Amino acid sequence: MFDVSGIVTVCRRSIAAAIVASIALVIASASTHAQVVIMLVNGDPITAFDIEQRTRFLQLASQKTPPRQEVLDELIDEKLKLQLTRRFDFSGANLDTDVENAIGNMARKAHRPKQQFVQELEKSGVQIGTLKSRIKAEIIWTQVIRGKYQASFQFNEHEVLVEMENRKKEDQGGFDYTLRPIIFSVPRGSPDTAFEARRREAEGLRIRFQDCEEGVKFARALRDVYVREPITRSSADLPPQLRDILEKAEVGKLTPPERTMQAIELYALCAKKKSNADNTPARREVRDEHISKQFQINSKKFLKELRDQAYIQYK
């Protein structure tokens, strides 16, 4: 009889090979599409992949899909900012380290270890390179604007007082605080119950803590508790929430414990004195608003110059 088993086996192998070849073709096609250049900004390409990634990032940040032109405009501006390293001297800057530090700060604010923060971002479809490029561009831009328009950020205290008077903004003064950070460490990867246990220990220390001299000695004797050297902070430099806590705290006492990524942290308030008259929260607020306003004006002006001078070619 005629044996068909060999023919069947050959056919199966051929079909399998065809499927594998088809999958490889689809993957290659997708990869090629991702590298399709959509436009050139002074010769630097913006690809379909760049547009896709930035769209996902903006969608993640705003919870809505941005218009395509908004995405393109942001990518064009980003290219122009990154290209400034060819025009200005950044030889003394360590931009990559600054970018990594910025990502670390973002992770801390999100109460996540840096690695977990990156993993969660990538699970959302946004590669870390997209975020790094965006941060690097803004670091470069900030340094250039502050250097190029340095004179516009200078103003005297009379201008500050006039602005405060125009706003009818009362200056209640500020304080300089001497603080001792106290850290109740928690091993990496610990569950919430471990943090809660350490929080209870910290609350126990708050009850017993009556002054910095004896209280610091007692804290150092506790398990996995670290007391840092004294630091001095002005109320003008503190975020409003911490400023309110310290204004109400008694000297020689501890602030309420706060959870960080790998610890429960609180502060011993060891000294408190009036700040200089020109270093108060109200005056700092006026100064910061002035600087922010000038930064936006200068940014808009210089970015328009860069766009007018740029060669932007749509493919």
Alpha helices in the chain (DSSP H): 5-34, 48-62, 68-82, 95-109, 114-123, 128-148, 157-166, 192-208, 212-220, 240-248, 281-309
pLDDT at res. 285: 72
Which is nearest to 186 in space by CA: 111, 81, 253? 111
Helical pair 68-82 and 48-62, crossing angle rounded to 10 deg:
110
Write down the pLDDT at residue 15.
44
Nearest to 75 by CA among 95, 56, 99: 56
Give residues with Cβ within 8 angstroms of 155, minimum separation 6.
287, 290
pLDDT of residue 2: 37
pLDDT at 26: 40
What pLDDT is attached to residue 300?
95
DSSP state of 277: T
The domain ranges of the chain are 1-34, 40-151+296-314, 175-274
**CA atoms within a 13 Å half-sphere pointing along the CA-CB vector of 68:** 3
Total-model pTM: 0.63
Kindly give the confidence (pLDDT) of every residue in the chain, 315 residues in length, as a single tens digit, with 9 standing for 90 and above: 434 344 334 344 544 444 444 444 443 444 455 579 999 999 999 999 999 999 999 999 888 999 999 999 999 999 999 999 999 998 888 999 999 999 998 888 887 888 889 999 999 999 999 999 999 999 999 999 999 998 877 766 666 566 655 555 555 567 889 999 999 999 988 888 999 999 999 999 999 999 999 999 999 999 999 999 999 888 777 777 887 888 888 999 999 999 887 899 999 999 988 876 566 666 777 777 778 888 999 999 999 999 999 999 987
Strands 37-41 and 44-47: antiparallel
Q: How many CA atoms lie within 13 A of 124 on its CB side?
A: 20
pLDDT of residue 276: 67
CATH class of 40-151+296-314: mainly alpha
d(CA 201, CA 191): 16
∠ CA 285-286-287 to the nearest 5 degrees? 90
The reply to whether CATH 3.40.50.300 applies to domain 175-274 is no
Report the b/e string of 20-35 with b at 16+ CB within 10 A: eeeeeeeeeeeeeeee
Q: How far is CA 84 from CA 138, 142, 266, 274, 306, in A?
A: 11, 11, 42, 44, 10
Q: CA angle, corner 261, sides to 256 and 262, nearest 5?
A: 85
